[in-house]
Structure 1
Amino acid sequence: MIVTLKGNNPDPKKVELLTTWLEGLAIRTHFIVGQHQTVIGLIGDTSVVDIDLINSLDIVQNVQRIQEPYKKANRKFHTDDTVIDINGIKLGGGNFQIIAGPCSVESREQICSIAQSVKAAGSTMLRGGAFKPRTSPYSFQGMQAEGIELLLEAKRLTGLPIVSELMNISHLPLFEEVDVIQVGARNMQNFELLKELGMIKKPILLKRGLANTLEELLMSVEYIMAGGNENVILCERGIRTFETATRNTLDISAIPILHNKTHLPVIVDPSHAAGISSLVRPLSMAAIAAGADGLIIEVHNDPSQALCDGPQSLTPEAFDHLASDAHNVLQLMRGFKQ
């Protein structure tokens, strides 16, 4: 349920009386103060709340029930776009960013070289896997703690904030200096992990599961936000369909749908969606045209020798071309909006 208050500065004493009464009904209150209005989100069993009584208060403009099961992630709850600040780099609310780097950290030379290349091309964050979830137990599983150290070395070298995937909450102490924690598609509904991530303030990049609906994705977001961490970035990375021409099927429609349903930033991973490097550029341009707040791209200095996901990785040169094209398309789309 949402209670919208009148004006920009409602009477504090009357607001306190209202919230005290609601909390007496075991209803939690969450305030969102916008430029033009203040909204109180009510969380809990709102069936006990008398809407007519609240509507009759002189500080209340209107009361609205939210039918969707996700509350904090809901745009009705928070009408303004959320902008996430990652070490001074803003994502969402018209701020577009490209995250780039290898699927997996393989060596100091590899990650530092790629970090320098993607920064020069315009990437504002560095991705790299230290812990890798692989379908086969015999595949390369990542450099783990050493991989995190190498990512931090690349961060010191370039100044790029780093994004890396957390698979097990026991590894969280290793991620203290990681700027954005990624939750991969396979862990989208690892609810115990999501609860733990809700108790930290670090930005979380949550990828949609291989066969999950958008409502299921938003409910997973709710687990994080319910714990108090509202710094969540959604990532559409393709879903499993009957089509076999690509690794997954990129759901372009997810971008505008999510923007309609939630205030959180939405980025796209065309690398995992395609599984084929030649498709990454056109899918990236389509994502920008559909309104994505950013891209996360796999880049490797020698894709043919990559230990993980070489076929979908761009060379630094190819990424440079993609980043330039992305800038042009972004400017074109902004021109349309004006």
Structure 2
Amino acid sequence: MINAKLAAQSHSDHQTVVKLSETVAFGGEELVIIGGPCAVESWEQMETVAQELAATSVHGLRGGVYKPRTSPYAFQGLGEEGLAILAQVRSLYNLPVVTEVMSISQIEVVAAHVDMLQVGSRNMQNFDLLKALGQAGKPILLKRGLAATIEEFVMAAEYILSHGNPDVVLCERGIRSFDNYTRNVLDLGAVAALKQITHLPVIVDPSHAVGKRELIAPVAKAAVACGADGLIIECHPVPEKSVSDARQALSLADMANLVNSLKPVATAVGRTISEPMGVGSQPAPIYCAA
């Protein structure tokens, strides 16, 4: 028995719904699809992504501005410049935004620009960060650690919950194994288990799980079939030119096709995927990256 007083499911109908915006929520009948590039690179890139995704059944936009990279010489993100781009795109295209926060010092500025704060796999057990996010006043997307057990994952969520933030969404993104054909091993058994153990919404990141764009569609469908409450998927206007994770990024056309292909799977398991959100009626001033 996992000793999670706040995250544990008390009965079969105990399910928390976490609102991403006034019209988008995790944990209900409707699946939530979030798409976008690994990293925010420029205004032009993000405007193109948002324009294309807003015409599909994608509900939210992802894009990293603070990037935890294996190499210190790799692109680390645009920082506050990237946050400004996300805020403008968010307003212009009526798409709520999710981005990663890596340290306590980043929480305030990131929370002022986006709708949901992501904890990446490398920070799943950064307990001081988790405690601080309990006071962030924004929903949290918590990704499973690279080699974390299910119990460790749930107890990481417990840190956030126990410090005052009830709005936590769990994200299975694969765990490391001896096999390097796929980037990680997508643990769909964990998705099913988490839906029984906890009352928190659970989504899946097939992009980081498999690391190859041609494998994303089948595992995304499997994730929906086994009970995931949504997906977060990487896509890019020109995938081969992405500054990070190029191999796993879908083209925008492939992203749209994937979302459409998920609808019959969702229907088969009693879930729905909404029609396109549409573009906001009040255009925001365009921000041009230097």
TM-score in same-fold range (> 0.5): yes
Q: 2:213 aligns with which of 257, 270, 277?
A: 277
**2:223 maps to amino acid:** A
Where 1:221 maps in the other structure, the secondary structure is helix
Is 1:260 aligned to 2:196, yes or no?
Answer: yes
Partner of 2:283: none
1: CA distance between counterparts of 2:55 and 2:184? 30
Q: Is the 8 A contact 1:71 1:77 kept in 2?
A: no
Correspondent of 2:81 among 102, 124, 146: 146
Which of 199, 204, 222 pairs up with 2:135? 199
**Any conservation in 1 of the 2:202–2:230 contact (CA below 8 Å)?**
yes
Amino acid across the alignment from 1:128: G
Is 1:134 the counterpart of 2:69? The answer is: yes
| C-alpha distance in structure 1 between counterparts of 2:176 and 2:170, whole Å | 18
Counterparts of 1:95 and 1:201, CA distance in 2: 24
Q: Which 4+ residue blocks in structure 1 deviate beyond 6 angstroms?
A: none
Whichever residue aligns with residue 300 of structure 1, its letter is H
Superposed, 1:204-243 pairs within 5 Å as 204-243=140-179
Aligned to 2:14: 80
Task: Work out the CA distance in 2 between the residues paired with 1:107 and 1:220.
Answer: 33
> How far apart, CA to CA, are the structure 2 residues paired with 1:78 and 1:231?
19
Q: Which residue of 2 aligns with 1:13?
A: none
Moved more, 83-92 or 274-283: 83-92
Q: Does 1:291 align with 2:227?
A: yes
Q: In structure 2, the residue corresponding to 1:299 is in which secondary structure? A: strand
Write out aligned runs for 1:1-338 (5 A): 67-76=1-10, 79-88=13-22, 89-175=24-110, 176-334=112-270
Separation (CA, whole Å) in 2 of partners of 1:121 and 1:182: 23
Would the aligned equivalents of 1:121 and 1:319 in 2 still touch at CA under 8 Å? no
TM-score, with structure 1 as normaliser: 0.78
Contact 2:169–2:203 (8 Å) recurs in 1 = yes
Of the structure 1 ranges 68-77 and 313-322, higher mean CA displacement relative to structure 2 is found in: 68-77
CA distance in 1, matches of 2:71, 2:196: 38
Q: Which has the higher contact order (CA 8 A, sep 6+)?
A: 2
Size of the aligned set, in residue pairs, is 269
Q: What TM-score, normalized to structure 2? A: 0.90
Matched position secondary structure for 1:284: helix
Deviation of the 1:255 alpha carbon? 1.0
Task: In structure 2, list runs of 5 or more residues that go unmatched.
Answer: 272-290
CA distance in 1, matches of 2:236, 2:38: 8
Amino acid at match of 2:65: A
What displacement does 1:201 show? 2.4
Shift of 1:79: 4.9
Distance 1:77 1:329, change over 3 A: closer
Kept after mapping to 2: 8 A contact 1:188/1:220? yes
**2:224 & 2:11 partners in 1: Cα distance?**
26
Deviations 1:91-146 (A, max 9, x none): 10323110000000000000110011112121100000000000000110010110
